[in-house]
Structure 1
């Protein structure tokens, strides 16, 4: 399945257009020139995001691996692809993509927390865009099914590395030595 592209003859939106969007509580993203609008996340979504961010951030800080960021923060993948992932990890090796205003390039890891409004976009459109621009690891976190899927970029496409459900320990490949207690994520 391909990502949506503007119909022939339609305008492709750019980062400059993105900067002109209103600050109205919605989350705006431009993916391959197509505008996507999402209402602000639910409290459940935010709790899961916060809990996971705290766990990842503690590991990253303890091992001096880089930096963890959370939404809203723009990730500028190209002039026509600007995303706001839920969580972002940038290793020290890629620290040059961290600017004062945004992340200007492909992070090492992007995490999307699924909701009914975003599930299809996160699984298809964003996965395609993140792979296209070289995001090495992509996680899909589903609070409804208490599932985490870790994907690794290989030859331009994501391959499933692991899928954990419920309160099984999640041992992400990108962070050797980390065992995420998912019961603390879903709490």
Structure 2
């Protein structure tokens, strides 16, 4: 939910001033306060994170569930605090260790998963979709708990996301970043 009508563009410097315990994101210079997730959201997040974390054990990529700060610089910023896109994806998978610092991730994760809630539909499907595409996220999942559906977008060579591949609770989804990782969506959506 966008909160400010001010013309001033917000940056990572502003993000650092928000009260501890509140979840904020800044997208295209506008601040958005995040609502507390519902129990179903958290149950789905935990099952997805569990399946991915087990697979990544002993591998170079890492999974980071929310809250985890991801800064998406656009290349024109003079320094880190000028970044106007600061998000907290539900799940980030990062394979390039140089992007990780003591503040979170600086640059595009390899994969992002967002779990839609009623308050985040527009943000996840439009604003974050465009941010993740522009930043170069290789794979983006939008999980819809109520519909028991997942839309999977893969970044193509032209820098645009593909048309979505759609899955339900009856499917397993092969993660394109890893040749042998399949997520059992039946187990994920059984968490209701």
SS in structure 2 of the partner of residue 59 of structure 1: helix
SS in structure 1 of the partner of residue 25 of structure 2: strand
In the alignment, does 2:22 pair up with 1:20? no
Matches within 5 A, 1:67-78: 67-78=62-73
Matches within 5 A, 1:157-176: 157-160=160-163, 162-176=165-179
Match of 1:39 in 2: 35
In the alignment, does 2:82 pair up with 1:82? no
Match of 2:79 in 1: none
Change (3 A) 1:176 1:162: farther
- State whether residues 150 and 172 of structure 1, in contact with CA within 8 Å, keep that contact through their aligned partners in structure 2: no
- State whether residues 149 and 160 of structure 1, in contact with CA within 8 Å, keep that contact through their aligned partners in structure 2: no
What TM-score, normalized by structure 1, do the two folds share?
A: 0.89
Match of 1:184 in 2: 187
Q: CA RMSD in A?
A: 1.8
| 1-structure distance, mates of 2:153, 2:177 | 10
In the alignment, does 2:140 pair up with 1:144? no
Gaps of 5+ in 2: 74-82
- State whether residues 109 and 135 of structure 1, in contact with CA within 8 Å, keep that contact through their aligned partners in structure 2: yes
Q: How many residues are matched?
A: 178
| 2-structure distance, mates of 1:151, 1:141 | 12
SS in structure 2 of the partner of residue 85 of structure 1: coil
